[in-house]
Amino acid sequence: MAVLVTGGAGYIGSHMAWALLDAGEEVVVLDRLSTGFRWAVPPAARFYLGDVGNMDLLAQVFAENRIDAVMHFAGSIVVPQSVAHPLEYYDNNTSKTRLLAEATIAAGIKHFVFSSTAAVYGDQPDDAPVLESAPLQPKNPYGQSKLMAEIMLRDAASAHDFRFVALRYFNVAGADPQGRTGLSTVGATHLIKIAVEAALAQRSGVDIFGTDYPTPDGTGIRDYIHVSDLVEAHLRALSYLRRGGEALIANCGYGRGYSVLEVLQTVMRVSGESFDVRYGPRRPGDAASVVANATLARRLLDWTPRHDDLEVIVQTALAWERHLMERKIGDLRELRQRLATAAF
Ligand code: UDP
């Protein structure tokens, strides 16, 4: 049986595709390549170019492959963009998840793993690591769009022969330790990506969004989780569903938070480079502190993180960024050669 990975040309989806293949699974990727890259899809995966909201294409993908589980990564993920373009987020993250769930159920496929987010929690009354049972009060359309998708999946699982695991990701960072894939999105806005770009002189420095949060150093606190540990949690979720596990929503994080300043210091230390740090105002939609209590995933999914170390996260992110730079230089060289030999 095969696993359908939507968004498999993107950051987390491509790590998932590699991890599934490493685990001996057959992999089918569906991606419209709006932010992902065809080269990020492992050669052994079967690739379909298209949108997860295209019902005809979904029917074709399900008819042409023996798929027993869907892992749904395709979606939009930038908080400030969601504040500026909420309806796009509700379309891409909520409506299209509804369509995908409908097509999945219609095809008789029972297992669904969904990329959810810690953004469903918003600001919590205290700084304690957040449990799945905490009040759900997203501060931005991104979090709302994912929460609505969770609710739909829950109701669909009650009504149909269909079970799902929604994993609420905290801050995913780092890259495949084997260097096969990493965060390659052009114009990515995530802190560790921005900081490693600054360390490698790819940008002029880093702006800190807010220094007046109620945290020890005034900057925002997040629970950064290595992407390889995250995809491992998905593999565990897949086995859980295949052995009959009930619908489950679980946090994926390490249970420890780092401030923006601590992250920047770690990037400087690990890279041996310093860069400009500019102190600025808060970014709209941001919460002060978001840290996971992930005991549920550890217990029910038997998930044990193996890269729980900010330095390792930063090291792998740096290695991938260097690889991207070499790639860019290679592309430029090739372009120059083509231009030199082209007949005008
Ligand atoms: N952040 C920052 N400067 C940046 C990007 C992010 O200060 O250039 C902060 C942001 O305000 C938050 C943390 O870093 O406190 C993580 O933000 P990111 O965008 O990486 O992930 P999010 O938590 O928004 O999903």
pTM of the model: 0.95
Q: How far apart are CA 234 and CA 219, in angstroms?
A: 31
Interior angle at CA 246, CA 243 and CA 250, nearest 5 = 105
Which one of 183, 222, 252, 282 would you pick to mutate in the ligand 1 pocket, going by the greatest count of ligand atoms within 8 A of its CB? 222
Structure tokens at 128: 């304690």
Q: How far apart are CA 319 and CA 208, in angstroms?
A: 23
Pick the catalytic residue from 121, 142, 224, 258.
142
Structure tokens at 241: 């569903």
Ligand 1 pocket at CB < 6 A: 79, 171, 189-191, 194, 206-210, 220, 222, 260, 283, 286
Q: Residue 298: which H helix or E strand, with range? A: helix 295-300
Q: How far apart are CA 139 and CA 122, in angstroms?
A: 5
Instruction: Write down the pLDDT at residue 334.
Output: 83
Which ligand 1 atom is nearest residue 263's CA? 14
Answer whether 80's CB lies under 8 Å from 189's CB.
yes
Strand-pair category, 111-117 with 67-72: parallel
Å from CA of 81 to ligand 1 middle: 13
Instruction: Write down the pLDDT at residue 160.
Output: 98
Q: How far apart are CA 36 and CA 10, in angstroms?
A: 4
Interior angle at CA 305, CA 303 and CA 308, nearest 5 = 160
pLDDT digits (tens, 9 = 90+) for 282-336: 988 788 999 999 999 999 999 999 999 999 999 999 999 999 999 888 888 888 8
Catalytic (active site) residue 213: no
Which one of 260, 264, 282 would you pick to mutate in the ligand 1 pocket, going by the greatest count of ligand atoms within 8 A of its CB? 260
The list of the chain residues with pLDDT below 50 reads none
Domain boundaries, the chain: 2-326
Instruction: Write down the pLDDT at residue 284.
Output: 80
Tell which CATH architecture fits domain 2-326.
Answer: 3-Layer(aba) Sandwich (3.40)
Instruction: Write down the pLDDT at residue 339.
Output: 84
**Beta pairing partners, 165:** 113, 248
pLDDT digits (tens, 9 = 90+) for 72-119: 999 999 988 999 999 999 999 999 999 999 999 999 999 999 999 999
